[in-house]
Amino acid sequence: MVSADKLISVVFVGFNRRYVNRSTTVLLRSISFQHKLSFFGPGYQPQAILDLGLSRWIESIGGCDLLIFDHYSCMFDAISKRKHPFIGDLIFFTRQEYFYYAPILKNEIEAYRGIKIFIANIDTYGVKQCFCDYLANLKCFVIDSSMEQLVADGRDSKSNINDATKCLPAGFLDQTPTDNWLKFKSRHSCKFLEVPHTIGSEEFSLDPISRRRNVFCVPGTRYSEREKVYKFESRRQRAKRCIHRVSDKIYGYINSSLTPERLAYLQLRYELSISSSKFAFVSGSVFRVPVRKYFEVAALGAVPIGHSPIGMSNIGFVNMENFVIAEQPVAVANFLECFEDELAQYMASNAQQLIAQKHSDIARSWQIADSFRSIIAGNFNGSYWHNGEYCHL
């Protein structure tokens, strides 16, 4: 039991890296707002500390209440088989350090006897059953953004899931998609913290709708549904997209990982495309996952328009209040032809307020802190979202 006036000590075990998608980085920042957060792993600590070992290091800092880790350590076998495992990462460790320390950290996480929490920022439909069994054997809690549990009983049958995934970009999943994660969550719901993607305070744009140059943009990876609405962007935007695509391929051919400058450029380019637009298309692939773009678009002051994600109303999105549901390209076109700036500003302001109040790093810090104390007290039985509010059992 941790007293109410004592900061909970949290240790993150893993590898210091950055990705264009800021999910893990911002989540850890949220945790640091309300807790004493320390880091152990390559890129965080010097070799002398790493060689000391996790257990002895934790003792040296006075112990910890919660141990957090992500897939970079426990999915070492799969990551190490990739031809370019760090192609999309800015890494603060060497390739040799990863291959040496990853299995060591995995063993140390397994040996740790305290409370463990896994950050599941992964493609959940690509999870193998053996990994679900691995997490179950660890008896760890899970921070998950997929929101699958909210629709487990009512979702459509995925008997044709393999056909559906033919529309996904090459390399989206490492293997044939499955329902393993959904079934795992159903069996262990009392261990899951439903935590949608978190938006950092620096990711907000206050530019009004009336001052935005572009009417519409399509951010993100080339999902098939996104390709169908590229034509609604301006010619200038589409020309830029072609230039960026070519330059990105050239960069990826020459480089095996990101530089700090390249990462900053990609993030700024992405955010400017949204913050200079009145509407931005959102979709979560054929799986209807509430990916981070739903939250990024709203924070950057554009109106989210596109596919309704699973758990949409639970995380706070309401059609024509802070979101425009447009399931088909023709629906997108029809709306963009007749909207008025006044209505767009109304929805954009509502969407941004939702993110600031419920899904920002500050809001998330309080939500997580409440659940962490329940976990330590031994009375946590899972969390969920209802009408835009975070609740735990």
* 143 and 251 part of one domain: no
Transcribe 272-337 into DSSP letters.
HHHHTEEEEEE-BTBTT---HHHHHHHHTTPEEEEPPPTTTTTTT--BTTTBEE--SHHHHHHHHH
pLDDT attached to residue 109? 97
Question: What per-residue string of b and e applies to 7-31 under the rule 16 or more CB within 10 Å gives b?
Answer: ebbbbbbbbbbbbebbbbebbbbbb
8 A C-beta contact, residue 219 and residue 20: no
CA atoms within a 13 Å half-sphere pointing along the CA-CB vector of 116: 21
8 A C-beta contact, residue 124 and residue 132: no
Q: Could you give the maximum distance between any two Cα atoms of the chain, in Å?
A: 65
8 A C-beta contact, residue 353 and residue 376: no
Give domain status of residue 251, yes or no. yes
* 120 and 245 part of one domain: no
Q: Could you tell me which of 340, 358, 362 has the C-alpha nearest to residue 33?
A: 362
Beta-sheet pairing, 389-392 with 383-386:
antiparallel
Q: Could you tell me which of 292, 205, 390, 386 has the C-alpha nearest to residue 26?
A: 292
CATH number, domain containing residue 301:
3.40.50
Give domain status of residue 3, yes or no. no
Give domain status of residue 387, yes or no. yes
Q: Rounded CA gap, 322 and 345, in Å? A: 10
* 128 and 190 part of one domain: yes
Q: Could you tell me which of 211, 209, 203 has the C-alpha nearest to residue 348?
A: 209
| DSSP code of residue 145 | -
Q: Could you tell me which of 203, 261, 181, 217 has the C-alpha nearest to residue 21?
A: 203
* 135 and 217 part of one domain: no
Give domain status of residue 15, yes or no. yes
pLDDT attached to residue 149? 46
Tell me the residue length of the chain: 393
What residues make up the domain containing 160?
9-198+360-392
Q: Rounded CA gap, 298 and 302, in Å? A: 6
* 169 and 114 part of one domain: yes
pLDDT per residue as tens, the chain (393 positions)? 555 567 999 999 999 999 999 999 999 999 999 999 999 999 999 999 999 999 999 999 999 999 999 999 999 888 888 888 887 899 999 999 999 999 999 999 999 999 999 999 988 888 899 999 999 999 999 999 987 643 334 444 443 444 444 444 444 445 567 889 999 999 999 999 999 999 999 999 999 999 999 999 999 988 889 999 999 999 999 999 999 999 999 998 888 789 999 999 999 999 999 999 999 999 988 888 899 999 999 999 999 999 999 889 999 999 999 999 999 999 999 999 999 999 999 999 999 999 999 999 999 999 999 999 999 999 999 999 999 999 988
Angle subtended at Cα 177 by Cα 295 and Cα 285, rounded to the nearest 5 degrees: 30
CA atoms within a 13 Å half-sphere pointing along the CA-CB vector of 175: 11
* 364 and 353 part of one domain: no
Q: Rounded CA gap, 90 and 16, in Å? A: 9
* 264 and 193 part of one domain: no
pLDDT attached to residue 222? 85
* 223 and 261 part of one domain: yes
Q: Rounded CA gap, 39 and 243, in Å? A: 39
3-state SS class at 141: strand
* 266 and 348 part of one domain: yes
Cα distances from 162 to residues 165, 179, 222, in angstroms, run: 5, 11, 18
8 A C-beta contact, residue 215 and residue 172: no
pLDDT attached to residue 86? 86
Give domain status of residue 1, yes or no. no
* 237 and 345 part of one domain: yes
* 354 and 242 part of one domain: yes
Q: What is the pTM (predicted TM-score) of this model?
A: 0.91
214-217: strand order across its sheet? 214-217, 277-282, 303-306, 324-325
3-state SS class at 264: helix
**Range list of H helices, the chain:** 23-34, 47-52, 54-60, 71-74, 76-80, 95-111, 129-138, 161-164, 180-187, 224-227, 235-254, 260-275, 292-299, 329-338, 341-354, 361-377
Q: Rounded CA gap, 382 and 372, in Å? A: 11
- The string of pLDDT tens digits covering residues 264-301 is 999 999 999 999 999 999 998 888 889 999 999 999 99
pLDDT attached to residue 146? 86
Give domain status of residue 250, yes or no. yes
> How many Cβ atoms from other residues are within 10 Å of residue 183's Cβ?
14
Total domains in the fold of the chain: 2
- The string of pLDDT tens digits covering residues 154-163 is 444 443 444 4
